[in-house]
Amino acid sequence: MIFQLFFTASLFGQTSGENLKITHLTENFYVFTTYRDFKGTPFPANGLYCITDNGVVVIDTPWDTTQFQPLLDSIKIKHNKNVVMCIATHSHEDRTGGLEYYKQKGIKTFATEQTDIICKERGEKRAEFLIFQDTVFAVGQYTFQTYFGGAGHTPDNIVIWFPKDKLLYGGCLVKSTDASDLGYLGDADTKQWSTTIQKIKQKFGQPSYVIPGHQNWTNKKSLNHTTTLLRQYEKKNNR
């Protein structure tokens, strides 16, 4: 399914702040990181944005609710572009928290139908537009694909693939190589997770970049690391 989006409408390598960090990844791609307290320590959550000729596409919203507007302001100042689209990759707050805020700013917000059902049931923030199946979007000079490979971190987690740059945004389905465990498992399907990762690897081959939802994203072996953590979890819990 092709969904064409048309909208009317380098200044730095890395910008660090106390609550928002923006780091250049490659070409027109930037990783933004915000933080929430976890066991007394700021814990990072990653999102991604892409600069296109027709505006900026943001993948997931900041975890820190105070950074919804600063992210938009930073993008405008650094690139002289407005955010025109935001996609949430699953139903947790670190992905969806800013959806309604961005909708009020005139940004087109998207989530899968499955994510929207969960958000509605839980009274969480919801997107304006729904994705009903794996979809290829075209914005400016970029195309990118949403893909649901199966349950894992959550029953609704999707990944996003930018084929031109071989960039895979894995979100919280994919664990950073810095992660020592699988993290929050309240909505996880640990039996299906490995199969989901395998489907992603088969579909997209060997990405040049893999962005996990949390922690360090510079090591592209995070898909394999996720599988390793799942094996360790299975071994520990099947004794």
Return d(Cα 144, Cα 136) in angstroms, integer: 6
Distance set, CA 228 to CA 11, 46, 163, 168 (Å): 38, 21, 26, 19
Q: Is the pLDDT of residue 175 over 80?
A: yes
Residue pair 221/231 in contact (Cβ under 8 Å)? The answer is no
117-169: pLDDT as tens digits = 999 999 999 999 999 999 999 999 999 999 999 999 999 999 999 999 999 99
Question: Domain range for residue 178?
Answer: 2-237
CA atoms within 13 A on the CB side of 99: 28
How many Å separate Cα 63 from the centre of its chain?
11
Q: Is the pLDDT of residue 32 over 70?
A: yes
Task: Give the residue among 13, 59, 27, 25 at the shortest CA–CA distance from 218.
Answer: 25
Q: What is the CATH number of the domain that holds 39?
A: 3.60.15.10
Task: Give the residue among 73, 33, 36, 37 at the shortest CA–CA distance from 56.
Answer: 73
Residue pair 170/162 in contact (Cβ under 8 Å)? The answer is no
Work out how many domains the chain is built from and give that number. Answer: 1
192-211: pLDDT as tens digits = 999 999 999 999 999 999 99
